[in-house]
Amino acid sequence: MVRHRHDLAVIGLGYVGMPLAQAAVNAGLAVVGLDANASVVASLTAGRSHVDDLSDEDVATMLAAGFVPTTDPAALAEAAVTVICVPTPLGDEGGPDLTAVRSAASTIARHLRPGSLVVLESTTYPGTTDEIVRPLLEASGLVAGTDFHLAFSPERVDPGNAAYGIGNTPKVVGGLTPACTQAACDFYARFVDTVVPTKGTREAETAKLLENTYRHINIALVNEMARFCHELGIDLWDAIAAARTKPFGFQAFYPGPGVGGHCIPIDPNYLSHNVRTRLGYPFRFVELAQEINASMPAYVVRRAQDALNEDGKALRGARVLLLGVTYKPDIADQRESPAVHVGRRLIDLGALVEFHDPLIEKWDALGLPARSVADLDAAVEHADLTILLQHHRGYDVDGLARISRRFLDTRGAATPAPGVERL
């Protein structure tokens, strides 16, 4: 029987890998974390967190319990289970860039031992675990499903969600074989309340894409409705509030300046790309949703122009203040934030753009001049137009709207009043 120093090795210590490692450590597992970024490992070793959902204190607690961050792949040979949590950004051709997944699988292969379990959690298209990861692992000379277990289990991390974390969010698991599924289920059951097995890896991979495609399409629906409701003089926010009183058959989604983050703007495209590549026809719902959601920043800028016109001002030369530039409220994560596209378009059209975000000191995403303001109230009073892009908990939206010259609310947070418009 092979003895293991670590119960779990997590490859990729980002927004997915660190919460997973924390949950495992808290359950009493011996965990090692591998990351190629030496500065990330050094920061964690010093007890500093770089992800929103873990504080420095959380990291210090993990270290005290035996968590070991490292850049040394040799640690993988001492782990009973290895989980891949590396990024899968959108590639040039519309599918996922699997560079980090391939690298992780090849690294594991060099240290793989009989009886081990390898799980891919990185989001990707159906077939990746079997067609990409398995052959790379089998370069070790071991056979998946015979000598070692292989499974896919989609990450369901929701940054900033205080109600649902790793432990109480059901964990979907699909193995290469029934035995692989059982091994993965047994592992996750050590620190997850509910484990949901699927028929295989492809079903588990598709489940993740279905979840995010569902959200992508429904957000596109209300984004398109926001446009024609504005033209027809209908308060869509009030209509949604009325519709959500139905106790069955309806789930509320809300319009906004675009979609952001690590899932909605990216993951559905993996499925669309996979359908086009393998079957030769489009996944029309996804492609239409992408078109609608991607056009929202331009629509916000058009509404900004209209708002300024009401005051007899041109957008060129106008002072525009953006409130909240992260992709989600109350977290510092800026990945794929629609604020970037809004800001760039405003600057391209000649606006003098400033921004405020209580969680961001420096905003480099624009690549163009956008000054951070220190005195929020003074900045709002001075701006020709204030645009709420993200409703952080710390914003007194109605108070800010009252002192503004003109206020455009893309999140439905402000009480309707003269000079205040909602998307």
**What is the pLDDT, as a whole number, of residue 419?**
92
Q: Could you please report the per-residue DSSP string of 344-387?
A: HHHHHTT-EEEEE-TT-S---TTSS--EEPS-HHHHHHH-SEEE
Query: Residue 132 belongs to what H/E stretch?
Result: none
Q: Give the tens place of pLDDT for each residue, 330-368.
A: 988 888 899 999 999 999 999 999 999 999 888 877 776
How many CB atoms within 10 Å of residue 284? 10
Answer yes or no: are the C-beta atoms of 158 and 164 closer than 8 Å.
Answer: yes
> pLDDT tens for residues 252-280?
999 999 988 767 777 777 778 778 888 88
Give the residues across from 392 on adjacent strands: none
CB-based contact 171:192 (threshold 8 Å)? yes
* 85 assigned to active site: no
Give the angle subtended at the CA of 62 by the CAs of 59 and 64, to the nearest 5°: 110
Per-residue pLDDT, 240: 97
Ordered by where they begin, the domains of the chain are: 6-200 (3.40.50.720), 221-422 (3.40.50.720)
pTM of the model: 0.90
- Amino acid type, 325: V
CB contact at 8 A, 87 and 16? no
**Strand 68-70 to 31-34 pairing:** parallel
List the pLDDT tens digit at each of the 423 positions of the chain.
456 789 999 999 999 999 999 999 999 999 999 999 999 999 999 999 999 889 999 999 999 999 999 999 999 999 999 999 999 987 777 678 999 999 999 999 999 999 999 999 999 989 999 999 999 999 999 999 999 999 999 999 888 888 999 999 999 999 999 999 999 999 999 999 999 999 999 999 999 999 999 999 999 999 999 999 999 999 999 999 999 999 999 999 999 999 887 677 777 777 787 788 888 888 888 889 999 999 999 999 999 999 999 999 999 999 999 999 999 899 888 888 999 999 999 999 999 999 999 998 888 777 766 789 999 999 999 999 999 999 999 999 999 999 999 999 999 999 999 999 999
Q: If residue 6 lies in a helix (H) or strand (E), which one and from where to where? A: strand 6-11
Are 100 and 86 in contact by the 8 Å Cβ rule? The answer is yes
User: Residue 322 and residue 124: Cα distance in Å, rounded?
Assistant: 33
pLDDT, averaged across the chain: 93
| pLDDT score at 1 | 44
Query: Counting runs of H as helices and runs of E as strands, what totals does the chain give?
Result: 15, 14
Q: What is the DSSP string of 191-245?
A: T-S-EEE-SSHHHHHHHHHHHHHHHHHHHHHHHHHHHHHHHHT--HHHHHHHHTT
Contacts of 207 (CB under 8 A, 6+ apart): 154, 172, 198
Q: Which two tokens stand for residue 381?
A: 């009073």
Q: How far apart are CA 39 and CA 174, in angstroms?
A: 34
Q: How far apart are alpha carbons 54 and 250 in whole angstroms? A: 34
Question: Chain-centre distance of CA 259, in angstroms?
Answer: 10
Task: Pick the catalytic residue from 85, 185, 229, 263.
Answer: 263
The Cβ of residue 335 has, within 10 Å, a number of other Cβ atoms equal to 18
3-state secondary structure of 118: strand
Residues in the chain, how many?
A: 423
Tell me the two tokens of residue 368: 């163009």
